[in-house]
Structure 1
Amino acid sequence: MSNQYANHSQGSYSQAVINITNLRLRTYIGFNPEEREKQQDVVINIEIHYPADKSFQSDNVADALNYKIITKKVIQHVEEGRFLLLEKLVADVVDICSEHPSVTLAKVTIDKPHALRFADSVSLSLEHRR
C-alpha cells in the first residue's frame, strides 16, 4: 500500500475527540409547578476526549470508544428522569460520559430552550477531567 497514511505507527496522535451535537430530548426539568407536570425540550452537546491510538492501528471496533452506547445511556437517563436543577441534569450526563476508563475529558452543555421569556435558551456547562 503506497498511501502515506498506511502506517499510523510512524507518528503519534493527540487525543481523539468525539462530539455529539444537538441531541434533542424531552424531560421533566425545573421546580415550578408547570415544569414538574410537563416535559420540556433540552438540547445536549457532548465532547469526549480519549486516546485512540489502538483503534487507529487496529481498525477494530472493540478498540474504540463506542459513542452509540454512551448516547443510549444519556437518552434513557434524561427521558426517564425528573430534575429540579439544570446543574443536576448536566452533572449526571457528564458522569455517564466519563464512565469509560479511557475517557480523559468529558464536557457537556445542556440548553433549556424557552426558559427565559426573551432569550433563545439558558445553558449550563460542566466538564470532568481525568
Structure 2
Amino acid sequence: MPISYATIRITNLRLRTYIGFNPEEQEKQQDVVINVEIQYPADKATQTDQVENALNYKSINKSIIKHVEQGRFLLLEKLVSDVLAICCDHPWVRYAQVTIDKPHALRFADSVSLTLEKHQNFEE
C-alpha cells in the first residue's frame, strides 16, 4: 500500500530570544520568526480519524516556544539546528525543514534568515 505523507506547516511563529554575539545582542532579546515544515506518514490518521494516529503539532510548537524563549544563542545556525532537532524528535517524522528569520539584523534589509533541513529514512 502506498504511503500518504502529511505536511504540517507552522508559519510565522514570532518569538523573542537572546540571539547574537555582540554585547548589545546578549543584553536584549530580539524578535525571531520561525517557519517549520514537517512530513510524516499519515495513512493511519487518514483512515482512522483517531488523534493518537496523527502527529501532535501543538506539542511540537510548545516545545519550540519553550526552547527558544528560554535559550541564549550566539549563532543563528545553532538556534535553527536546535529547532530542527525538536521537529525531528518524533519517530514518525521523515522530513523537516526549519527557516528562522532575524528581522532587522542587517542595515537596509528586512531580515536575515537561515534554513536547515533533515531527511530521515526508515524501513516499512
- Per the normalisation by structure 1, the TM-score is 0.90
1:57 to 26, 30, 47: 47
Amino acid at match of 1:94: L
The higher radius of gyration belongs to: 1
Which residue does 2:8 correspond to in 1? 18
SS at the partner of 1:117?
coil
Which residue does 2:33 correspond to in 1? 43
- Per the normalisation by structure 2, the TM-score is 0.94
Amino acid at match of 1:31: F
Distance in 2, Cα, partners of 1:95 & 1:121: 23
% identical equivalent positions: 72
Which residue does 2:81 correspond to in 1? 91
Distance in 2, Cα, partners of 1:82 & 1:90: 12
Which residue does 2:64 correspond to in 1? 74
Amino acid at match of 2:45: S
Q: Give aligned pairs, total.
A: 120
What CA deviation, in whole Å up to 9, does each residue of 1:19-76 have, x standing for no partner?
A: 0000000000000000000000000000000000000011000000000000000000
Which residue does 2:94 correspond to in 1? 104
SS at the partner of 1:118?
coil
The answer to whether structure 1 residue 116 and structure 2 residue 74 are counterparts is no
Distance in 2, Cα, partners of 1:104 & 1:115: 32
Structure 1 gaps, min length 5: 1-10
